[in-house]
Every structure is written in C-alpha cells, then in structure tokens.
Structure 1
Amino acid sequence: MVVTNSLASLVLLLSCANALPSRSKGPAPVLPRPTIPYLENPLEGLPVVSRNGTRLPDYTQAYYFNQLIDHDNPSLGTFQQRYYHTYEFYEPGGPIILLTPGEVDASAYTAYLTNLTINGRIAQTLNGSTIVLEHRFFGASNPYNDLSVASFRVHTVQQAIADLVYFAQNVQLPMPGGDQLAPGKAPWILIGGSYAGALTSYTMTSNPGVFTAGYASSAVVEAIVYVSTFEKPNSGRVLLTVTPHLRSDFWGYFEPVRKNMPANCSADVQAVIAYVDSVIASGDTTAIGALKLTFGLPLGHDDDFAAALRLNLFTWQALQPDSGPNQAFYQFCDALEVQNGVSASETGWGLDYALQAWGAYWNSTFYRQICGNYGVETCLGTYDTTSPYSGWTYTGIPNAYRSWQWLVCTEFGFQQDGAPAGQPSIVSRVVTPEWGLRQCTYLFPGAFGDAAFASPNATGINAAYEGWDTTVENIVFASGTRDPWKEATVAAEGSTNPGSDAQPHLLSDGFHCSDMLIQEGAASASIKTVQDTAVSYIAQWISQWTPTA
C-alpha cells in the first residue's frame, strides 16, 4: 500500500492509527473505521517477566496459528493467522483473555497485552494470560495473497466469528500447559472494542458456552440500514429503524459530535452547512463555483465537495478525555471561533465570518495536511476510476481500508451522511448513502452485479446476531457519551435494551473506546468507574466458572 507523506502526517496528527484511511494508492481520506485507539507501548524493549521470575518473550514476538480458510468448507485448508501473547500475570486456573483489535494490523497493538489496557488489568487482577489475535484479511493474516472480490468470498462477519471460536478451541499457547487451556478446561474472556466489540457480542450470542465472559467497548452491534426521526408530541425524540431500498443512513455518527463539540463551533458549522445546502439546491452554477473556491475545492461533483467538508468533523474520533487543545478537531474550531484572540459566544460569529474562516482554514492548513501536492480531483474526487492514483481496484496486501470497506459495502452499511430534514445537521444533506454505496461498485467490480449501488445486508447481520437487542449474558457493554459511533451501540437513543446484571450497560463521558485505556480512567472519574465496575462483574463471572472438559 502506498500512503502519501501528507496522509501519514494526518494520521499522526489525529493520534489514532487509521482514523482517516486512504484508498490503496491515492491520498484521499475517505471514512473513519470503527477501530480501537492506537496506544504507544512504552514497555516494548523492556524485559517481560512472569510472576515466578521467568523471563518471557517480548510483547512483539509474533506467533502463527493454522486457521481454516473457510469454516464452511474445511477442505480448502488453512492460512497463517498471526497472534501475540504473554503470560506475564498468569497463574494456574486463571483465565485466557482473547482480543482481536479488529480491522487493523495487529503488530501495532501489542500494548493491548499489557496492563496499560483493560485487557491487562483484567489479567493482572484475575491471574490471566493475554492474547491479541489479528483479524483475517488485515496485516499479515491473509487467507489468500490478494484482496480481490474472489478472495473476499471468505471475508465475512461469520467467518471472523468462527475464527475466534476455532482459535480458542484449538490453539496450543506458547506457555507451560498451553495445550491444556481450551474452553472447558480454562475460562476464556473475549474482549473487543468498536467493530471488534461487535464481534465480541456476535460471537457470544451465536456460540454460547465457548467464552465465560466478555467485554465490549463502543461495540457497534447494530448495522445501520436507515434511521429516520420524527418528533412525538410531549414525549421527546424517537428513533425508528426502517429499511427502504438502497439506504444505509448513519447520520447519527455526527450527533455526539454536534452535541458535545464547543457550542459556538457547532452553531457556526450548522450555519455554514445550511448555506452550502441552499447554494447547491439553487442550481446556480456561478454561486456554486464561487462557494467551492472559498474552500479551494473546485470539485466537479457537488456531493464530492459536500463530503469533503466532513473531514474536519471526522477528527473528533481521535479525541480522548486527556486530549489537549492542540488536537486537530480543536484547531479546526479555533480557526472558526477565535478572532483577534477573542472567542465567540455560544452562538458563534455567524454565517459570514464562519464561512470565510472555514474556507481560509482549508486553504491555509487543512488541504495540505490531507492532500499534500495532489490535485483536488485526485485527492477528493470519487468519480474518476481511471486515475493512476485512485487505486480503486488495487488488490495488493495489506490494505486495511479496502478490507474494511468490503464489510461496510456487503454487511454493515454505516454511511455517514447528512441528517434528515428538520434535524440539526453539521453535515451537508447533499451527502447521501448513495454517495458511498456507489463507490462500493468501483472498489469491488462485479460484486454487486450490474447495480449502481451496493446493498449491504445490514438487516441480515442484525437478525443473525441480535444487534441492539442481544440477550447474551456475562458480557459488559461499555459506551461513551462523546463517542461518534454511539448510535450503533446499545447506548443508542434508538435502542430499547436496558441491560441487566447479566448484561451490564455502562456509560461514561468517554469518546471512542476510551474505557479500554487505563490512562483514560486516570483522566476521567466516570471512565474509571466503568473500568472498576466491569472488572468486578467479570471477576464474579469467572469465579463461578467450573471445568466441563
């Protein structure tokens, strides 16, 4: 995969690996993935020592497991699935704690073996062993040597679930007695955040008895087909889920952003977006052209232009409770709201100033950060599939963006677009689900027949694994009020699942998967409460486990 220096700089700027991925060869950041936060591992390179004083392999030591290529057809053989492991805190009888980091290269996530994370804290408390298992079709764990449509036949949510179960039941861990620790002989705890949090719920829902306990952080369990709103008199806002043709509408991604960003910034962004929509709706090509030039974005398609403005808002996903004022999102808001050293009131400066300030920020700072020296159509256009830089059908490995988009296009939906009419919106309504679903047909030619748009089977995912309504027990769901993915979690306003002692729903003031990082508990009392409560529940469930094999 070729990534421009400018995009690499943006990824570092966001302090969250792969928060804004590019197409395989082009520079354009497209959509954020629901990914656990990247955490630098300050312990790498230091000796790892077990509780009895034995020197253990480094956290970065990779191991490989012979995973089935196709769980529905084992005759196709196996592939090498990479994993990382330590038994630093393990004592006989302790649990085996399995995490997949989801849609990322797992080699960058070895910190999740340590007590810098909720995984390691549970291991330290319960005398457990930790594992980070790479997801199929990410990093070095590829069933086939390309990311073609034909290879992706075995790239499904169900295959990923089966990987977790088969691994737990068959792995011989590189530790004393590691061949005697399968479920039934030892308690296993499944942990995941974001998409991997959804996998945790899906796996325990569809395979009861394999995992004794689970922890699902910011778990995007509800695949989103279409969400509409209406106001019900005297009873507040109600969300309904319906399924019109080709809709995959996840405007709710931006609701936690709109509600929790600085009020002046929210007011001005809403004003600018309303103006953008009115100008585009007018059909006045001169006015539309002038508007695009205000931002330095003379894109040939109005929806590409409108979609580009979301990129400032996507930087919210990288925030954590200890994020400082120099983070990209706050730099964006400061560009709009600080004038001559004075900040606007909660109502903002108003349309005229905000429009020019936002445009100036793109021209002076943001465009270079995301596009470098690439032209605007090469960087942000989505209609030219012939550009040598577009990489629409580049199938080389690894390519986390392409692998994730396959799941989005075929199963999850999750198209982050403008809110419905009548609902405040910080994203243009010119951006529709079809804008993204059209690109699926470019990325995966032939996968959707002759259709102009992909039709993700979100209803099938929700039916198979129960989405918001899962009844699975012995799993903690942890969510954050400031998480942009909140509306796909059990904490969504549309969810009617209240949780229980058998399925606790814990809510903090966190951002995306904040509760997975111990440092965030130190920064937020509510996150620490979630972490402490979760460990208490899991300890209780593990104490009740008895061997069955």
Structure 2
Amino acid sequence: MKTLATFLVFMGIFSAHVQALAPLPPKKKVVLRPGPNGGNTTFDQLIDHSNPSLGTFPQRYWWNTTYWGGLGFPQVIFNTPGESAGDFYGDILTNETLPGLYAQAVRGAVVMLEHRYWGKSSPYQVLDTQNLTHLTLKNSIDDVVRFARTVRLPFDRSGRTNAPRAPWVMAGFSYSGALAAWINKLSPGTFWAYHASSAPVEAIHDFWQYWEPVRKGMPQNCSNDMILIADHVDKMLESDSETEIRELKAMFGLEDLQSQSDFASYWDIFPSPIARYDIFYQMCDSIQGVRPVELDPDVFRPSTYTPTPIDPEREVSADGVGLQRALGNYAEWFTNEFLPLKRCQGPEYSQPNNTNSVECLVWDNATNPKFTDLSVDNPWNRQWIWMVCNEPFFYFQTAAPPGHPSLSSRANNAEYYDRLCRNFFPSQRQAKSSASNGRTAEALNAMTDGWFVNTTRLLWVNGEFDPWRSASVSSEFRPGGPLQSTDDTPVYLIKGARHCNDLFTWWGERNQEIGLVQQQAVAKMSGWVKDFYNSTKRHQAGWAW
C-alpha cells in the first residue's frame, strides 16, 4: 500500500495542482477472494456506448454479500473508487466504511465497479490520445447505468436484484461523488438513492479557490508564514537578478529547473491536510521550528550547512516566525522530507542514478520522459489528466488573484497548465483533447448544472476545510451561497473535517462530528430504501416476484 505521503505527492505536479484527490486507500490492502460472501469477476462493458460496434472490454467488479438478506432483500450498495485502480479499496465492501454501514443497516449487498481505463479495466493498454478518446464523462456514466441494469451478479443470476427492480444506492466519494450527482442529473431512473461526499461538481478553470479552505483551516501562524514566502518568491521571480533567482531555486533543490513556471508550481506543492497530524502539520511544525526535520542522507549540502535549532518547548507565536526563519525552515523541510519522494531515477533519464536530479520535474518541456509513458499503470495518473483536459474539469489549482492572500506563487497560473495539457496529449490523427478544441468549463457546467445540479434522494457531505469544498455545493463561492439542506436533498457540512472524512468508520469513532453525520446518513439512507418498498412506484419499475 502507498504511504500517506507518497499517495499525496507521488503523481507530481498534477497530483498537487490538478488531481481530484481520490479518498485515501484503506489502512491495508483488502482483497476479497472468491467464497460464499464475496469475490471479484468482470463484466463485458461497451468501449463506446454511442458506437457498440467497437466491441467490449472486461470491467472488473468486486462484491460482498455478508450483510445481504437474500432475494427478499435485493438492494445493492454500489460504489466506484473513481480515478484509481480498485485493488486498494477492498475495505469499501466492509462495515469499516460508510457504504458497508449502509449495507449492514438495510441488509444489502455491496458492489464496487472499477472505473474504465484504470487497473485491469482498460480497453487499451497504450493510452495515447487516440485511444483515450473513449474515456469520457458520458461513457463513464453509461458504464455505471448499463452495469446496474444488465449485470448478472454471481449471487443472483436471475436478474431480480438489478436496477431499477431493486433499490440500488450509489455511494461516491470525491470524483465518484460528483459522478453520482451527474448520474442523478443526466441519467436518472436507474439508482434509487445517492450519497455524494466531497464531490467537486463545478468545473473551474482557474481554481484558486481550492486553497481557501486550506488557508482558513491550517494553523494561522503557518498560513501567515506561507503567505510571506509566496510573496517573497513572487518578488524574486519578478526581479532582474538572475543570481538571486538561482539562489532561491537552490534553497529548494530546484536550481536545475530553468522554467520559472516549473519552479513556481513545485516549490509550493505542500500536501493538503487530510488527517489530524499528517505530513501537512509536520511541515507546519517544522516551519515554526518546533519539530526537527528528518534529514535525508542523499540530499547534497555544502560543508557550511548547519541544521535549524529546534526548541519544542518554546511558545509558538500566532503570528508565525517571520519570513527569514520561515523561508529557511520550509526549504529545509522541502528538500529533506518532500522533494526526495519525487526522485527522478530510472533508465529513462539522462542521469538514472543521480539522487539529486529534478529532471522529471521539468514539465514546461514536451520532451519530458513522463509525457511518453502511455501505460495504464503510469505513475502520473495520465487517465485523470486526460479527463481534466478533455471534459474539461480543469480544476487547475492556481494562485489567488492580486489583493487576496495567496499560499501559492502567482507565477502558478492556469495558462501553464493549459500548456501541460497540450504536452500530455498532442493531436493524433483526428484525435485531440476537447480543451484543445476550445471546450470550456462553462460548457461542461451547462451540461451538468455544476453547483446548481438538481437532485432527488441525494445526500451531500462536505468537510469545512476540504480544499475541494470550493467546487462542491457547499462552496462559499457558489452564487447565492452554499446549498441549503432539504428533506429530499440533505446537506451535511462537517465542522473541522476535510476530504472524504465520512468514508471510514474509524474517523467517526475518533471524531464526534464525523460520527454523528455517519449515523444521520445511515438513518436517512435506510429511510429512503424503506420508501422504495412502501412506494407503488416499485411496480412501475417492474418489481415482480
């Protein structure tokens, strides 16, 4: 299993500034083997739902019938892990997660479908521009609907548990939460109810608002110092002093990055806060000088190097430590604990054994070897980058506009990421990304309704300090304000919570606010499932025994 740190940063610039962060994998890899209560198999899925003549590909899915009551209890709790392979999400099928709690409460089965183009569910093994043209939001929606209606589940070959004959519930988290809302909007009538957690339903090109929940939720002394550092970086990059710019880059081990945009986009790739004391808060404590940096033995240091003095007992000022100390402390943490996770070592690089190389971080150059890794298991999540550039979701996590406090350098702008989209996906025969053809975020939002998507029996959950909140219905930037809760569309905003914090039950056990929302969600979903059986509409849906 990937550690928390590597999961957050492994995919590089698009992980921190574009990636729609999937929920963290469970604490351990859980693979349900074939047996009386669960297993995995494949479903023959259409490559292109608008052109069935292209054929099919095997799409993996997992199931667990531990809580299922049998044919008299046909409801299915359905989930897709979204923009990642399904192997690491076995716990989704158990009552260690909210989907499992739903199943336990209503005596349902749990099914998890791997998203097309990830894991072992890709119709093509070479992900060039031409082959990626079938990875679209429409096909992804149609995959889920076709599966729910036509699959012959191993525990019921009769089809009596298929939607809409049985009350299927779709529970999604992060991108898959947005997918749940978009299915409700664009392809209603298959699923009976929905759960959408941390769902970024509004496509945003210049997504500077991403950092606002982070800024407001992080320790104030840390945010004050990070803003000072960002302003300092901007002043240096805007100066005419090549010497000062080179020295600034060298502080962060990035002196070999010639592009100012590459540097501006990398020095501030600090991880978003996910848990109570994760790498993010360790970074803040190191900036404030109350936590020693774990020195990496492979990081080059001049003979004059001396570590920053640490005093864990000293009182930390709410104002921060100021630019000079913060800059040095942050650079020390960055070069020793963060940058080494991106080591550019491998046969594809000119210096394959150089532990201090940053060659793989040179993105403002179409010759970067990472642009040519077209494999399904590529380390940069090429599939998601395609969806970001093609739908286009965008979600480019940029600096705040002038006059607004910014945690990021203002050289980190949307135009830079537009260039990266073109570098990743050059035109191939007649194929090119939709963004290259001029499609905009506004066009996608017109199709999905974005922040204003109208839903039925959909339960929204968002975290107060989740950076993705700004693209959700609970966004403070949503015209008219955050979506208000109703009986048919309840909205839960968890105080102090972050990304998908309602997913795992152990978070609810440790945090009263999260636990309460989980209990309320289970009660609400149980009521909706009961309504299915009490409603005469089930006969119209073809219910028959």
Normalising to structure 1: TM-score of the pair?
A: 0.85
Kindly report which structure 2 residues correspond to 1:396-545, keeping only aligned pairs within 5 A, or say none. Answer: 396-399=375-378, 401-410=381-390, 411-446=392-427, 457-495=440-478, 496=480, 497-508=483-494, 509-545=496-532
Tell me by how many angstroms 1:27 deviates: 12
Give the superposition deviation at 1:262: 1.1
**Gaps in structure 2 of 5+ consecutive residues:** 290-309, 345-353, 533-537
Task: Give the match for residue 311 of structure 2.
Answer: 340
* Aligned-residue offset at 1:21: 3.9
Change (3 A) 1:295 1:510: same
Question: CA offsets, 1:422-452, max 9 Å, x none?
Answer: 1111111110011111111111111686999
Distance 1:64 1:343, change over 3 A: farther
The answer as to whether partners of 1:21 and 1:31 remain within 8 angstroms in 2 is no
Mean Cα deviation higher: 416-425 or 525-534: 525-534
Q: Confirm whether residue 331 of structure 1 aligns to residue 311 of structure 2.
A: no
Match of residue 198, structure 2, among 218, 221, 233: 218
CA contact (8 A) 1:27 1:374 kept: no
Cα distance between partner residues in 1 of 2:158 and 2:512: 38
Shift of 1:86: 1.2
| Aligned-partner residue type, residue 487 of structure 2 | D
4+ residue runs of structure 1 moved beyond 3 angstroms? 26-33, 41-45, 372-377, 447-457
Structure 1 window deviating more from structure 2 (343-352 vs 113-122): it is 343-352
Deviations 1:31-68 (A, max 9, x none): 543212211358767x99xxxxxx6255xx32100111
Structure 1 residue 366: deviation in Å? 2.6
2:135 corresponds in structure 1 to 155
Where 1:97 maps in the other structure, the secondary structure is: strand
Of residues 316, 320, 332 in structure 1, which corresponds to 2:272?
316
In 1, the alpha carbon distance for the partners of 2:17 and 2:465 equals 22
The alpha carbon displacement at 1:376 in A equals 4.4
Partner of 1:35: 22
CA RMSD of aligned residues (A): 2.5
Q: 1:77 to 1:70 in 2, by over 3 A?
A: same
For 1:263 and 1:30, the matched residues in 2 are separated by 22
1:269 aligns with 2:226: yes
Matches within 5 A, 1:47-196: 56-58=36-38, 61-91=39-69, 92-176=72-156, 179-196=159-176
Distance in 1 between residues matched to 2:464 and 2:56, nearest whole Å? 41
- Relative to structure 1, the CA distance from residue 504 to residue 131 in structure 2 (aligned partners, 3 Å threshold; closer, same or farther) is same
Rounded Cα–Cα distance in structure 2 between residues aligned with 1:535 and 1:302: 49
Q: CA deviation at 1:161?
A: 0.4
- SS of alignment partner, residue 327 of structure 2: helix
**Does the 8 Å CA contact 2:360/2:370 hold for their aligned counterparts?**
no
Pair 1:278 & 2:264 matched: no
Partners of 1:477 and 1:504 within 8 A in 2: yes
For residue 311 of structure 1, give the secondary structure of its aligned residue in structure 2.
coil
Equivalent residue for 1:369, pick from 324, 328, 341: 341
Select which of 336, 346, 355 maps to 2:327.
355
Query: Residue deviations 1:448-488, cap 9 Å, x none?
Result: 86999785532222111111101111000100012111101
| SS of equivalent to 1:544 | helix
Q: Which residue of 1 aligns with 2:11?
A: 22
- What is the percentage of aligned positions where both structures have the same residue? 33
| Matching residue's letter, 1:160 | S
Partners of 1:355 and 1:296 in 2: CA distance? 13
Cα drift, residue 539 of structure 1: 1.4
How many residue pairs were aligned? Answer: 495
2:59 aligns to what SS in structure 1? strand
1:12 to 2:3 alignment: yes
Compared CA separation, residues 460 and 176, structure 1 to 2 (3 A):
same
Pair 1:343–1:357, CA change in 2 (3 A): farther
Q: Which TM-score applies when normalising by structure 2?
A: 0.86
- In the TM superposition, residue 77 of structure 1 has moved relative to its aligned partner by 1.4
Partner SS, residue 506 of structure 1: strand
Q: Quick check: 1:29–1:370 contact (8 Å CA) kept in 2?
A: no
Distance 2:454 2:57 in 1: 33
2:97 is aligned with what amino acid?
A: T
Aligned mates of 2:248, 2:382 — CA distance in 1: 32
Letter of the 2:244 partner, please give it. A
State the Cα distance separating 1:374 from its structure 2 match.
Answer: 4.7
In structure 2, the residue corresponding to 1:81 is in which secondary structure?
strand
- Report if the CA contact (8 A) 1:191-1:200 is conserved: yes
What is the CA-CA distance between 1:145 and the residue it aligns to? Answer: 2.7
Offset at residue 188 of structure 1 (A): 0.5
Q: How much has 1:394 moved relative to structure 2?
A: 2.1
SS in 1 for 2:42: strand
Query: What displacement does 1:397 show?
Result: 2.0
In the TM superposition, what is the alpha-carbon distance from 1:305 to its structure 2 partner? Answer: 1.1
Local SS of the residue matching 2:206:
coil
Q: 1:522 to 1:259 in 2, by over 3 A?
A: same
Are the equivalent residues in 1 in contact too, given 2:149–2:164 (CA < 8 A)?
no
Higher deviation after alignment, 377-386 or 287-296: 377-386
The amino acid across from 2:372 in the alignment is T
Q: Structure 1: how far apart are the matches of 2:371 and 2:188?
A: 40
**Secondary structure, aligned partner of 1:39:** coil
Quick one: distance in 1 between partners of 2:31 and 2:367? 43
